[in-house]
Structures are given as C-alpha cells and as structure tokens.
Amino acid sequence: MNKLNQEVSRYIPAELQNLLDAASSSVSQILNKALFGNEISEDDGTVLFNCRDNEKVTDRTAIFAVADILRQRSKGDYVTFVVNRNINFTNICYMGCRFCGFAKRKEDSGSEWLEPSQVVERAQQAWDRGGTEVCIQGGLHPKMEGNYYRELVLAIKAALPDMHIHAFSPFEVWYGAVKSKLSYRDFLSDLKDCGLGSMPGTAAEILDTEVRQKLTKNKLSADCWEEIIRTAHDVGIPSTATIMYGHVDEPKHWAAHIALLREIQKDTGGFTELVPLSFVHTDSPLFLNNPNSVRPGPTDHEVDLMHSVSRIMLNGFIDNIQVSWTKLGAERARNMLSLGVNDLGGTLMNESISRSAGSKHGQEITAAELCEIIRSAGRIPVRRNTIYKTIDIYKDHDPMDVVPLVERESDPLNFLKMFPETAE
C-alpha cells in the first residue's frame, strides 16, 4: 500500500480501502484525491469516465463506492424530491435541433399553444394537488411576442403568489431577449421582478462547439449558454445544471462539460443541482436520420458512471446530484441512489419532452410513490422546495396521496415487489 493509501485508510472503511487497492493505480490515485476533498482535474475525470468496458469492473466498483461515500458525507441518508408539475406551453418550434422529437410546426397534428390563462389553470391544478413548483418550458414559436414570458409569470403570480416558478431555459432567454430587444441582464432582471424564482439549466446538451454543431447547428453556442447562465446567477436567479449525453459525444466531452460547470459554480454559486439526462433515441430525428453515426443513448455502464463521476468531480461545489426517472425509469432511478445520487427530482404530473423522444417511463410519480422508492433503498424521504429547503421529512408518516393526474398504462413501482421487506 502506498503512502497516500495509508493516509486515506485512516478516514475510510476497510471494505472501501480494499476496493481502492484492487483498482488500477491511476484510478486509485484519483479516487484517493477525491476522498481527501481535493479537486480532481478534467483529465482525471476523463480517466474515470473511460472505465466502461467489462475488463474494468474493479475500477468501476471503486468509483461507485467512492461516489456513494461522498454522497453520504454530504447528504447522509436523506433523499429529496419536490412536488411539481411540468407545463410545456407550446411544442411549436422552428429551431430545428436535430436531437429533438418534441418540436412541431404550426400545421402539424398535435401542435399546441397555451395562453397564459390556460397555463394558470394547470398551475392551479398542481397547487391543489400539493405542488409548490411549476416547471415551465416551451418551443420557440416564430410568432410569439417577446413579452409572453413576463406575462406568463405575472399571470401565475397573480393567481398563486406562493407558487415557485422554475422556468425558461437559456435558449428561451436568448429568444425572449432578442424578441424584446433587451440585453440578457435586463430581460432576466425583469423576469425576476415579475416573479421568476429559478431557471432550468437545460439547452446545455454538451458544452462543446464540435458536438453542438452536430446537435443544434450551434444555434445557441456554449459561450452564449454560459453567458446567460452566469447573468441569471448574477441577478439572483439560481438554476439547475444539466448534461445530455449518449449520442455523438465521448468521455472527454463529459469531463470537460462537468469541469466547466464546476468553474461557473466557483464564480457564481448559482447552481442548485446537476441533472444528467440520457439521450432517448427512439423517436429522435438525430438517431433516425443517422443510425450509423449516432449512438442509441448511453450504455448502462455509462449511465452509472455519469452519475458517480459527476458526484466525484463536483464534490463540495454542486452537492445535489439528481437522477431523471423520466429518462431511466423508477427502478434504475432507485439503483442510482447507491451510486452518488441524492435526489429523485419531481413528481412532474405531466411530462412531454422525454415522452416525445420515445421515453416509456410515464408522466408522473406521486410523492407517496417516491417515498416508497426511497425507503426501499434504505434511505429517508425528504420533501424539498425548488432551492433545496426542507419542507417535510417522512420518517414516521407519509405524504398526502393523490390519484395520478394522467391515467397510466402500467405501474411504475411494480419492481418494488422484489423488495417486500423494505417496500411495506
């Protein structure tokens, strides 16, 4: 055992030390640095992300174990979720992002446009079901006025002053600012004054110019995404952070993306969480039109590594790692709780974007069901608000149960029958 490992052994369980000793020297050294609380580099992250093939089982096992202990140090046994509703006010969009199965033309069957009053009706329904957040995003409708975004926020706040509005991706902010002939700062400051509480850090995809050219023709550049996010944080609007992976990208892109998010967080402190988003290929034009050059989403190993390596790279900077059950399903989401994840996201009530790309994991998991998932993993369910303030800890009671808003074709928690002793 080298000197560094001897020092680490004073702080970690013997079982974990054995895993580190069994791993390759390069991986073990990186993981030891992380356990000491030292920042691992972008190159280190690439090394960890490359542990994907079946010959690197011991390396992956050590990575997962370190991610789990870092999660434990930061969050204990608590796993959080928020009661929210997704509202997509329009799917009409002419931007032509190649991966997107959500966008439609105005004349297409299934195209939709909601007036502010209709969005308010859906927000009210969410509030009546215990929701504290509405997550609002939409396509970039060519006829939309620049003031639509502010009118939407004002309408919701007039009806539901205590509802948190988590809305508008950086791409939408770019579009609204252009339409309104305002700077990003002025546009965002106005939205904040109107009642915008936070922003989804979507439209990030992979923050690499070469990759973005293939995904979106670089219509929103990585630099522009970063500028808008930094400006939002600067005017007091926190945001999530995302990465969408498993298409035309590689491990080096993932590590660079995570490292950039970390640098932004060092400067602004405005990210509340990281949400890795697996590319859903089934109905995506990017895959359907290029099946020989575009991968059909990440492999299982890559999904596991994305959540674990993100925890390790972001440790001490972005300490909430969320799993998207809409992308992976409830069972896989549960498994992520032992790989560095501490948050299961939201109940959603309606989910359109993943579903339009071919996801089959449903539109809603109720608060009571999320508690079942968390307890079956031996953890303690915690209901939070959007910015991670605790609302309730379900140690000895359950949340209000509700009937799913949309009728289901199958039970998302059917897999819990495998865990009868913990699922009761």
3-state per-residue secondary structure call for the chain:
CCHHHHHHCCCCCHHHHHHHHHCCHHHHHHHHHHHCCCCCCHHHHHHHHCCCCHHHHHHHHHHHHHHHHHHHHHHCCEEEEECEEEEECECECCCCCCCCCCCECCCCCCCCECCHHHHHHHHHHHHHCCCCEEEEECCCCCCCCCCHHHHHHHHHHHHCCCCEEEECCHHHHHHHHHHHCCCHHHHHHHHHHHCEEEECCCCCCCCCHHHHHHHHCCCCCHHHHHHHHHHHHHCCCCEEEEEEECCCCCHHHHHHHHHHHHHHHHHHCCEEEEEEEECCCCCCHHHHCCCCCCCCCCCHHHHHHHHHHHHHHHCCCCCCEECCHHHHCHHHHHHHCCCCCCEEEECCCCCCHHHHCCCCCCCCCCHHHHHHHHHHCCCEEEEECCCCCEEEECCCCCCCCCCCCCCCCCCCCHHHHHCHHHHC
- CATH number 3.40.50.1970 given to 78-423: no
Output the six-digit token pair for 320.
């909430």
d(CA 186, CA 177): 8
Interacting residues of 272 by C-beta distance below 8 A, sequence separation 6+: 198, 238, 239, 240, 318, 320, 386, 387, 388
pTM for the model stands at 0.90
- Domain positions in the chain are 3-75, 78-423
Other CB atoms within a 10 A radius of the CB of residue 409 amount to: 7
pLDDT tens digits, one per residue of 134-175: 999 988 877 888 899 999 999 999 999 999 999 999 999 999
d(CA 31, CA 289): 40
pLDDT attached to residue 144: 84
What pLDDT does residue 147 have? 92
pLDDT digits 0-9 by tens, 88-135: 988 777 665 655 655 556 666 677 888 999 999 999 999 999 999 999
Q: How far apart are the first and last CA of the chain?
A: 44
CB 113 within 8 A of CB 119: no
Strand arrangement of the beta sheet that strand 196-198 belongs to:
84-88, 133-137, 164-167, 196-198
Longest dimension (CA), the chain: 68
Distances, alpha carbon 78 to alpha carbons 75, 128, 202, 299, in Å: 6, 26, 26, 28
pLDDT (tens, 9 = 90+) of the chain, 424 residues, equals 445 444 444 567 889 999 999 999 999 999 999 999 999 999 999 999 999 877 889 999 999 999 999 999 999 999 999 999 999 988 777 665 655 655 556 666 677 888 999 999 999 999 999 999 999 998 887 788 889 999 999 999 999 999 999 999 999 999 999 999 999 999 999 999 999 999 999 999 999 999 998 887 767 999 999 999 999 999 999 999 999 999 999 999 999 999 999 999 999 999 999 999 998 877 777 676 777 778 888 999 999 999 999 999 999 999 999 999 999 999 999 999 999 999 999 999 864 444 444 445 457 899 999 999 999 999 999 999 999 999 999 999 999 888 888 777 788 888 887 665 554 4
Count Cα neighbours of 207 within 13 Å in the Cβ-side half-sphere.
Answer: 24
421: Cβ contacts below 8 Å, ≥ 6 apart: none
